[in-house]
């Protein structure tokens, strides 16, 4: 059992879950547009995107904890570290893509 991979996976997973929970409790307030490829037109779109993103962050946090536990049991050393870090990057990119896709779909309907 590799404790480093376990700690890293669980720590990053807990951070993802905490950030998702924080986004759900108190959505961030920003100006509409300017920082996204497709500016948001209404506050409703911002709240819907934040809520969807918060749910994804919490789901991905749980997934990262599981990946960390699995890597600590079966994948040792640097390979396990690379698997956990690769999962972190992949899930972060996937979250952006899914939230953007959700906002685009909601804007078109």
Give the pLDDT of residue 39: 55
Give the pLDDT of residue 2: 75
Domain ranges of the chain: 3-27+41-108
User: Which residues lie closer than 8 Å to 3 by C-beta, 6 or more apart?
Assistant: 72
Quickly state the pLDDT bin for 22 (edges 50, 70, 90).
confident
Instruction: Look over the chain and give the mean of its residue pLDDT values, rounded to a whole number.
Output: 81
Statement: residue 41 has pLDDT above 90: no
Higher-pLDDT residue of 5 and 28 is 5
**Percent of the chain residues topping a pLDDT of 70:** 81
User: Which residues lie closer than 8 Å to 53 by C-beta, 6 or more apart?
Assistant: 20, 23, 95, 99
């Amino acid at each position: 059992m590799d404790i480093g991979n376990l700690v890293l996976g669980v720590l990053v997973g807990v951070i993802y879950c905490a950030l998702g929970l924080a986004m759900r409790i108190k959505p961030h307030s920003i100006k509409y547009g300017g920082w996204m490829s497709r500016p948001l037109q209404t506050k409703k779109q911002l709240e819907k995107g934040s809520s969807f993103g918060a749910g994804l962050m919490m789901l991905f946090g749980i997934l990262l904890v599981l990946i960390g536990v699995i890597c600590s049991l079966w994948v040792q050393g640097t390979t396990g570290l690379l698997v956990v870090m690769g999962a972190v990057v992949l899930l972060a990119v996937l979250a952006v893509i899914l939230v953007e896709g959700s906002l685009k779909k909601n804007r078109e309907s």
